[in-house]
A and B are shown apart, each in its own frame.
Chain A
C-alpha cells in the first residue's frame, strides 16, 4: 500500500501538473514556493485529503504548517487519523 507522501505526490503530479515538473515535488519542497497551489488549489487538495483519508480538515488547520509540503501533509494526516482512531476507540 502506498504511503501518504506517495499518494499525495501522485495526486499533485497527475492532477495539478499533468506530469510536468513533478521531479520538483520533493518531500520538503514548499508548494507555495514552487507555485503549484493557490487558494483554489488548496481547497482542491483539502477535498482530496478529506475524501481519501476520511478526515475533516478544520478551518483553523488550513495553514502552511499542515498543507504546504508532502512532509507536512504526511504528519498532519497521521495526527488526524490517529486522533480519529483514538476517538473511535475511546
Chain B
C-alpha cells in the first residue's frame, strides 16, 4: 500500500530531470557571471538538499569552481559527515573541513541553550541530549513546542516549553546555522565566489530556516523544487545511495531529529502533495483522498501550511529602508 502511494506521489510530481538540470545550470552560471563572481561555495551537510545543490553547482560551473565545506560541530551526527564526504568525493569537488565547535563554545551556544533547558528540566546536564518538537496543527490546536531530553541512563523527559525558554533555546541553537554561514562567506569573500543556499520548496515556503543563517545565500537553486523532486534529482544524478536513502533530519539538536517531528508534522511526501494541491486550488476533500487522511485532517493540513507561512513571513523580508514621510 505504501509503495502504491509513493508511486502516486512520484507521478504527481514527475518532471523532466534532464531539462530541469539544464535549466538550473544555465541560470546558475548566468547568476554567478551577473554577480561577477568566479565560483560557488556549498556547505554539504550529508543531507539530500545540499548534495543535490553541490552536484548542480559542479554541473553548472565545473567541479573546480566549487568549494564544498564540511562544517560539523560536536553534536552533529558522525554519519552525516561520512555522507557529506562521500558526496564531495563522488562529485570530485575540492572541499575543506572546519569544525565549528570551538566557535560555538566561545559564543556560548551550548551553555546558553543548556541553561534554558535546565529551567525546564533541572536535572539536565552532562551526558544528556535534547531536541524540540512541534505539535498542535494537525489536531486543530495552535502550534506549540516541546522539549524532549534523554539522559545518560536511558531516562526520557518531555516538557512543553514556555515562552522564554523556547525563545532562548532557539536563539542559542541558531548560532549553529549563523556560524556556518559566517564560515561560508569567509571562503566566498576569499575566493570571490557566491554562497549557495540549499532549501527545497517545502523549507523555503514554510520558513524552515534561520534568518541570516542557512536562509542567507546569493543563489538558491532548488527552492522551487518539492522534496520528492529533489530526491528524484539525487537519483537521476547518481548521487551516493546513502543520500538517496537518507531521512530528512535537522542535524541541529543532539538527539536524532527527523524534520517530520520537528517542524512539518507530516511526511515530506504527503506535505509535497498538500502544498501542490493548495497551490492548485484543490479542495480538502481532494487532498484527503490523495494522502489518505480524513477530510477534517486535510483541512487542518491546509490551515497549518497557511499558519506557518504567516508566522515565518518575517524571515523572508529584506531590511526595510525607511523614507521621509
Contact = CB atoms under 8 A, between A and B. Distances in A.
Interface string B156-172: 00001111101100000
A62 B136 contact: yes
Contacts of A59: 135, 144, 160
B141 A38 contact: no
Nearest to B306: A32
Nearest to B143: A39
Q: Interface size class for chain A?
A: 10 to 19
B310 A35 contact: yes
B164 A47 contact: yes
A38 B311 contact: yes
A73 to B, nearest CB: 13
Given A43-B166, A44-B163, A63 B311 contact: no
A35 B160 CA distance: 24
B144 A42 contact: yes
Contacts, number: 46
Contacts of A44: 163
B164 A39 contact: no
Interface string B74-118: 000000000000000000000000000000000000000000000
A54 interface: no
A63 B145 contact: no
A67 B140 CA distance: 12
Nearest to B303: A32
A35 B141 CA distance: 16
A43 B163 contact: yes
B219 interface: no
Contacts of A19: none
Interface in B273-300: none
Given A47-B163, A47-B164, A39 B307 contact: yes
Interface in A22-66: 32, 35, 38-40, 42-44, 46-47, 59-60, 62-64
Nearest to B134: A39
Contacts of B135: 59
Contacts of B311: 38-40
Nearest to B162: A47
Given A35-B310, A59-B160, 6 more contacts: A39-B307, A39-B311, A43-B144, A43-B161, A43-B163, A47-B162
Across the A-B interface, give the 5 residue pairs with the lowest CB-CB distance, nearest first: A38-B311, A39-B143, A47-B163, A42-B142, A44-B163
19 contacts: A35-B310, A38-B307, A38-B310, A39-B142, A39-B311, A40-B167, A42-B142, A42-B143, A42-B144, A43-B162, A44-B163, A46-B162, A59-B144, A59-B160, A62-B141, A63-B141, A63-B142, A64-B142, A67-B142
